[in-house]
Amino acid sequence: MIANVTYGYTSAGFSGRMPFAELADAIVQSGRETLQNAIKMVEAHRDWKAKVVYGDTDSLFVLLEGRSREEAFRIGQEIVSAVTSANPSPIKLKLEKVYQPCVLQTKKRYVGFSYEHPLQQQPVLDAKGIETIRRDACPAVAKILERTLRILFTTKDLSQVKSYLCRQWSKILSGRVALQDFVFAKEVRMGSYSATAGAIPPAAIVAAKAMSVDPRAEPRHAQRIPYVVIYGEPGARLVDMVVAPHALVDSRGTLRLHGLYYITKQINPAVGRVMALVGADVAAWFARMPRPMRMMPQKRPQWALPLGAPSEGEGHGATIDSYYLSRHCAVCDGLTYAHQAVCPRCIEDPQLSLGVLTARASRLQRLHAQLVRVCLSCGGAGGADGGISCRSLDCGVFFDRKKLMGEMATAEVLARSAGELF
């Protein structure tokens, strides 16, 4: 500890009062020699048959290939005793944990199931430096990567890992995800960016848009600004496709989460760096995966509903998405005409179809009422949305309530139009 403090004091060449670079280099060299001597001792022992696969600063990763966890703890204690006795006091080596299994990605970036004592039955997923614990990615990356690692470590079956990833990719592309898992939060330092193209980060763009509407919305220095990435025009840059999360929530379906960007630029690179170590190509898995179908009629915004046959010269909606609607029936999920939400077979049974659509609308209304009661008990009344004024991005109920409002409105329109049709 004294050497560590002395190093920090003597190596502070920019802000230190009395820097002494030679002394700092001597401390580093002494620690390096101690570490190298320990590595040589471990690898030279015949009975241990160990190999040091990683050593940095004051730590060693010793590979005991083919040994059980109990043998690893026993050999580890022998290594601790031998290395400690070979160094002068108070230098000592400590056995912190045993990883089984473990993925050593790069320097200071590793993850594995850790056991701290031989009697421990349930392991702990211990990660250092990877996306599961980093704050520069969205929560979806951390959750999918962590679940992928748990499946890989538990089953050791790449087919199960692939099935899980394909399910998550399909959910993201079809919009069946929680929006709060795709919100980035990056630090913004207004006034420190150059005016050249590409120099301003997306979070600063979102902050500048908010300031253009309200000058009082200027963020504090190094404040984290949340934003999401949405679909933009063909060839649009990333800075042109970032908006505040509230803008996406309040868009009523006119803005869509850019699922392809999140998969190809965020999730797949993080998962691929780990899976490449076991010979899996995540990008190839995604390229060969069948793309999911379009959004179901009961999940679409109201303006995109094909409630009747369009007249000549008229489109379905305001954007190109309205020309690529799902051809699945809102009642039975069977195929129907693109301009009809209900298939001819369900139209022939109006009592059943109307009952299904009405029951769906009633169920969504009950769910929305439950969330409203939760919000009222937490934040009180005062807003136009069911008497709720809370717009906190840290609350998952806020996103669920907004999502249910859109689905409930769509279900009510389908039930009402079906009643008029039948």
Confidence at residue 311, expressed as pLDDT on a 0 to 100 scale:
39
Whole-angstrom distance, CA of residue 79 vs CA of residue 71: 12
Lowest average pLDDT, out of 119-123, 148-152, 394-398, 417-421, goes to: 417-421
**In contact, 101 and 149? CB cutoff 8 Å:** no
Task: Please spell the DSSP secondary structure of 307-373, one letter per residue.
Answer: -SPPPTT--SSSSGGGGS---B-TTT--B--TT-SS-HHHHT-HHHHHHHHHHHHHHHHHHHHHHHH
More confidently predicted of 309 and 110: 110
Residue 75 CA: distances (Å) to CA of 63, 81, 97, 112: 11, 10, 12, 19
Q: How far apart are CA 24 and CA 3, in angstroms?
A: 9
Q: Where are the domains of the chain?
A: 2-96, 304-421
Strand partners, 412: none
CA distance 99 to 325: 50
Q: Edge-to-edge strand order for the sheet containing 223-229?
A: 184-188, 223-229, 242-243
User: DSSP for 261-292?
Assistant: HIIIIIIHHHHHHHHGGGT--HHHHHHHSPPP
Alpha carbons 140 and 177: distance in angstroms, whole number: 10
Q: How far from each other are the two terminal CA atoms of the chain, in whole angstroms?
A: 81
Express each pLDDT in 16-39 by its tens digit: 778 898 999 999 999 899 999 999
Q: What is the pLDDT of residue 52?
A: 94
Q: What is the pTM of this model?
A: 0.83
pLDDT tens for each residue of 199-218: 789 999 999 999 999 988 88
170-184, 252-266, 320-334: least confidently modelled range: 320-334
Task: Render pLDDT for 49-88 as a digit per residue (tens, 0 to 9).
Answer: 999 998 887 889 999 999 999 999 999 999 999 999 999 9
Give the domain 2-96 fold.
Answer: Palm domain of DNA polymerase (3.90.1600)
Beta strands 59-63 and 51-56 are: antiparallel
At a CB cut-off of 8 Å and minimum separation 6, what does 223 contact? Answer: 187, 188
Q: DSSP state, 179?
A: G
CB 42 within 8 A of CB 86: no
How large is the average pLDDT for residues 269-289? Answer: 94
Residues 130/111, Cβ–Cβ less than 8 Å: yes
